Copies of this chain bind each other. A is one copy, B any other.
Amino acid sequence: MPAGKVDRSAEPPGGVFATVPQSPPGCPAAPVVFPAHPASSPPPSRTVAKRAPARARDVRRCISVSAWVGKVSKTCSGVSLPAVGMSRVIRYRVVTRLSRWKRVPWNNVSNMATLKDVAQRTGLGLGTVSRALSGHPNVRPETRRKVQEAARELGYSSNGLARALRRNRSYSVGLILPDLENEFYTTAASVVQRLLRDEGYRLLVSCNNNSSEVDAELLRSLMESRVDGIVHAPCTPEGADLVRAADPRVPVVEYARRSSARGVDSVIGDDERGAAEVVRHLVDLGHRRIAMVAGPPELSTTADRVRGFHDACARFGLPKRGCPVLHGPSYDARWGEAATRQILDRHPGVTAIFISGSRGALGALKAVRDRHVSVPRDLSLVGFLGPELLDVANPPLTRYVLPLEEMSTMTARLLLDRIQHPREQAAAEPNVMRFEGKLMVRESTAPPREHELPRSGGS
């Protein structure tokens, strides 16, 4: 991509932003869309007007922004705010790589206090000050107090970069997940962050979107940051091999998925058994024609779930062609919806659908609703790894769940162990920890229908 060019390709037709002067009283409301209350009803502008002086201390300029176009909010990439309420324009620049050269002026000396400043202030030597502040035992308590006070007065804050460089230990850990909005992974982010923070580590979080290129680049970036360890949800069979090649001493723990990277621990769910449990549950109810909505075939989770599904179908003697498996490009809601439609269209004999992804069930619910298919009367639906939220869905969804908290805890614990005991750990062979899940039976499964499905009436 050429640098310096302004990319406006993503700009939606017609400016998305409307800007409204913020000055205290009487600004007519910006064009918001209220489906239930068309423009006719009077905007509550008095309320808005009254608010402004409420926070006396807040002298910042206020800008109201409307980002709604029609019914849906559109992403504002490449959009510039008109100059009305803003003196300058939000610039949009094309990717400037870290490696791209850029003149950095030599005025870049930080104005933050350094150890030297503290040393001068106290009249002590650098070494002593360093020892005093980093808790080294051989320092006179009085000296330490003096140093600490001086540090506080100067607003001294240790430069972590320098420390990390010198000690060859960054106290930071990388986390690469496929998706940062999916509760299956945010639980991991949350738990891992908390546990690592408790041990004094910082977390570098990033998202590979299941793209192998992005994944490799993120791993490289983490290695550049000299992280002490990595939690990785691999999206390729190679996984973090790249890391082992660069520095075999950096421990890696795989989360949720496996790769064939050597020397890495894995914490995964028992996807295969889960799929089998789902089939068993449906067979127990009397179903014989079960469709499975699966994700990208290159993921280890997909492979495991599909294997579990096939094995179980075979074991229970289900008709092979009555039980189609649909592979999709992802595990998101859109695919869940598309796949469900597809099944309703092409496999009318199917009486139950097993959606093997975390968000897919949402899409499936939407699809069946659009088609006026009643769950579980017309069709049974089973989810996988779905969030608790699905308990309040309509109907509450039967699904296979994994103990995400425990899996995340184990992941963090394993990584910390490897980081903090490199000696013992180097020798210890890596583990695969496979966590059992649980089938939670709710109201979306029932014995198969004995009537015809309503012929596709939806759009």
Contact = CB atoms under 8 A, between A and B. Distances in A.
Contact of A280 (B44, B96, B160, B247): B44
B405 A75 contact: yes
Contact of A365 (B159, B258, B392, B410): B392
B315 A47 contact: yes
A453 interface: no
A164 interface: yes
Interface in A146-165: 155, 157-162, 164-165
Given A47-B308, A431-B60, A136 B98 contact: no
Interface size class of A (residues with CB under 8 A): 35 or more
Contacts of A135: 99-101
Interface in A88-128: 88, 90-93, 95-101, 104, 108-112
Contacts of A58: 258, 260, 432
Given A36-B441, A110-B168, A165-B165, A226 B159 contact: yes
A429 B60 contact: yes
A220 interface: yes
Contact of A311 (B47, B93, B438): B47
A203 interface: yes
A118 to B, nearest CB: 14
A39 interface: no
A409 B73 CA distance: 13
A180 B405 CA distance: 13
A36 B441 CA distance: 6
Contact of A155 (B29, B30, B165, B245): B245
A245 B34 CA distance: 43
Interface stretch (A194-202, A290-298, A340-348): A194-202
Contact of A169 (B16, B30, B55, B104): B104
Contacts of A75: 405-406, 409
Contacts of A272: 47-48, 51
Nearest to A164: B161
Interface stretch (A182-190, A319-327, A349-357): A182-190
A187 B47 CA distance: 29
Q: How many copies does the complex hold?
A: 2
Interface in A287-334: 304, 307-308, 311-312, 315
A6 interface: no
A97 B200 contact: yes
B167 A190 contact: no
A67 B409 CA distance: 11
B225 A161 contact: yes
Contacts of A99: 133-135
A393 B276 CA distance: 28
Contact of A33 (B205, B249, B438): B438
B165 A159 contact: yes
30 contacts: A16-B406, A29-B273, A32-B438, A33-B438, A35-B440, A36-B441, A44-B273, A48-B272, A60-B429, A60-B432, A65-B433, A65-B435, A76-B406, A88-B424, A90-B410, A90-B413, A91-B413, A92-B413, A98-B171, A99-B133, A99-B134, A110-B226, A110-B247, A112-B246, A112-B247, A193-B206, A362-B388, A389-B393, A393-B393, A394-B394
In order of increasing CB-CB distance, the 10 nearest A-B pairs are A394-B394, A101-B135, A73-B403, A98-B200, A67-B406, A180-B190, A160-B224, A36-B441, A205-B205, A67-B403
